[in-house]
Homo-oligomer: A and B are copies of this chain.
Amino acid sequence: MREVAVIGVGSTKFGEMWERSFRDIMIEAGLEAIQDAGIEGREIEAMYVGNMSAGRFISQEHIGALIVDYSGFSKDTHIPSTRVEAACASGGLAVREAYLSIASGMHDIVVAAGVEKMTDIGTEITVDVLASAADREWEGFVGATFPGLYALMATYHMNKFGTTREDLAEVSVKNHYNGSLNPKAQFNNRITIDTVLNSSLVADPLRIFDCSPITDGASAVILAAGSIARKYTDTPVYIKASSQASDTISLHDRRDVATLDSTVFAAKRAYKMAGITPKEVDVAEVHDCFTIAEIMAYEDLGFCKKGEGGKLIREGVTALDGDLPVNPSGGLKACGHPVGATGVKQVVEIVTQLRGEAGKRQVDGAEVGLTHNVGGTGATAVVHILTR
| A307 to B134 Cα, complex, angstroms | 49
Assess the A83–B85 pair: CB atoms within 8 A.
yes
Q: Say if the beta carbon of A60 comes within 8 Å of chain B.
A: yes
Cross-chain contact of A79 among B63, B86, B246 (Cβ < 8 A): B246
A97 to B58, CA, bound (A): 26
**Distance in Å from the Cβ of A79 to the closest Cβ of chain B?**
6
- Is A132 among interface residues, defined by CB-CB distance under 8 A? yes
Select from chain B the residue with minimum beta-carbon distance to A57.
B55
B61 x A85 contact (CB < 8 A): yes
The residues of B that contact A197 with a CB separation of less than 8 Å are none
Verify B376–A62 contact, CB threshold 8 A: yes
User: Would A61 and B246 count as touching, CB distance under 8 A?
Assistant: no
Given A55-B55, A74-B247, A65 and B379 contact (CB-CB distance below 8 Å): yes
CB <8 Å contact, A69 and B245: no
A61-115 CB contacts (< 8 Å) to partner B: 61-66, 68-69, 73-75, 78-87, 93, 96-97, 100-101, 103-106
Nearest Cβ distance between residue A227 and chain B, in whole angstroms? 15
CB-CB nearest in chain B for A131? B59
Instruction: Decide: B74 and A248 in contact? CB cutoff 8 A.
Output: yes
Identify which of B21, B52, B75, B105 contacts A248 (C-beta below 8 A): B75
- Return chain B residues, CB-CB under 8 Å to A308: none
A181 to B243, CA, bound (A): 44
For A87, the chain B residues whose CB sits under 8 A away are: 61-62, 65
Docked CA distance A59–B1 (Å): 38
User: In the complex, what residue of chain B is closest to A380 when comparing beta carbons?
Assistant: B65
- How many residues of chain A have a CB within 8 Å of chain B? 65
Residue A367, interface by CB 8 Å: no
Q: Which of B55, B73, B245 contacts A80 (CB 8 A)?
A: B245
Q: Check B58 against A55 for contact (C-beta < 8 Å).
A: no
- Verify if A53 is at the interface (C-beta below 8 Å from B): yes
Give the nearest-CB partner of A265 in chain B: B78
Q: Is residue A262 contacting chain B, with contact meaning CB distance below 8 A?
A: yes
Q: How far is the CB of A99 from chain B (nearest CB, A)?
A: 9
Q: How far is the CB of A167 from chain B (nearest CB, A)?
A: 28
Among A64, A75, A79, A375, max chain B CB count under 10 A is at: A64
- A236-278 at interface with B (beta carbon < 8 Å): 243-250, 253, 255, 261-262, 265
A64 to B63, CA, bound (A): 17
Q: Is A56 an interface residue (CB 8 A)?
A: yes
A140 within 8 A of B: yes
Interface check A136, CB cutoff 8 A: yes
Interface residues in chain A, defined as those with a beta carbon under 8 Å from any beta carbon in chain B: 1, 21, 52-53, 55-56, 58-66, 68-69, 73-75, 78-87, 93, 96-97, 100-101, 103-106, 128-129, 132-137, 140, 243-250, 253, 255, 261-262, 265, 375-376, 379-380
A-B pairs, 3 with minimum CB distance? A104-B104, A65-B379, A80-B244
18 extra interface residue pairs, beta carbon distance < 8 Å, beyond A55-B56, A75-B253:
A55-B55, A60-B132, A60-B136, A60-B137, A61-B87, A61-B129, A61-B133, A62-B132, A69-B247, A73-B246, A74-B379, A81-B380, A82-B84, A97-B97, A100-B106, A101-B104, A103-B106, A104-B105
